[in-house]
Amino acid sequence: MNPASARPYRGVFPVAPTIFDDRGELDLDGQRRCIDFMIDAGSNGICILANFSEQFVLTDAERERVMDAVLKHVAGRVPVIVTTTHFSSSICAARSRQAQDAGAAMVMIMPPYHGATFRVGEKAIFEFYRTVSDAIEIPIMVQDAPVAGTPLSVDFLARMARDIAHLGYFKIEVPMAAAKLRDLIAAGGEHIVGPWDGEEAITLMADLDAGATGAMTGGGYPDGIRQIVDPFLAGRRAEATVAYARWLPLINYENRQCGLQACKILMKEGGVIGSDAVRHPLQKVHPATRAGLIEIARSLDPVVLRWGR
């Protein structure tokens, strides 16, 4: 059996934003408060340095500073997934080994891509993930997301799960995610250790019905996502469905209106962090959009809006 199955992770693992001050500099004290809130709000684990963490606006040195600060501050309270995506096989392997040595529980990696047109074929992708696996002893999560622009067939993903030692988790964010999750579980069997939902939970119920055992959402309201995932995994689907209907307006507003800024806006509004700044050339959402997000959130009373007050 794939060694990645030795310690399966399940539940809600939201993506933590990277916290900046109003000048756009790293705010590591704010980062630590963000992490404390996410743990207090019920996160089963946390993912850092993902696209929703604005990893693409960080220098390599800043990535290391954020990773070290978060892993030291978490100090084993919850498992932490570190995103180590890079086009180069050797650099991705080195990043992944560094994350493991710093205390990461898992690494998440997109297939190699650069810009709109630089892609490689399945043979090179397989060798890429195998290179990373050979360098580490912790699980690898494949992030199957449209941003990479790289088609990853079910059969290919299942083959990687069977043949690459530490690769057994899959965050599926492509269109028709539930169908792909269902087919992947059927094709890969016990080698599919972690079939996970993504994309801010916009397809969460369908993905859970298809067999998803984990959810990687935005970091603003893990308590709300737990109200859906916990009863579902415990066999109480009707309760999960009611909870999903309750939280869906906020999930939809995050996914369709605010994107990666939603959790920062909610964290600032609730006193968790001092600034919801994003780095240029990203632009802040319109004040009316911000107000709409907060209005919907207040009707649900998430922990984020009262944690820092």
The predicted-structure confidence for 17-63, as pLDDT tens digits, reads as follows 999 999 999 999 999 999 999 999 999 999 999 999 999 999 999 99
Over residues 102-118, the mean pLDDT reads: 94
What pLDDT does 115 receive?
85
**Confidence class for position 116, pLDDT limits 50, 70, 90:** confident
Over residues 254-282, the mean pLDDT reads: 97
Tell me the C-alpha distance between 262 and 284, whole Å.
10
Tell me the C-alpha distance between 141 and 194, whole Å.
8
- Is residue 9 scored above 80 in pLDDT? yes
Six token digits for residue 192:
């599919």
Our CA angle for 16, 22, 271, nearest 5°, is 55
What pLDDT does 2 receive?
52
- What are the catalytic residues? 171
**Confidence class for position 89, pLDDT limits 50, 70, 90:** very high
Kindly state the percentage of the chain with pLDDT values over 70.
98
- Is residue 5 scored above 90 in pLDDT? no
Please check whether residue 224 is in contact with residue 179, taking contact to mean a CB–CB distance below 8 angstroms: no
> What's the pTM?
0.96
- Is residue 1 scored above 60 in pLDDT? no
Q: Which amino acid is at 290?
A: R
Tell me the C-alpha distance between 95 and 133, whole Å.
12
Over residues 189-198, the mean pLDDT reads: 97
What pLDDT does 6 receive?
60
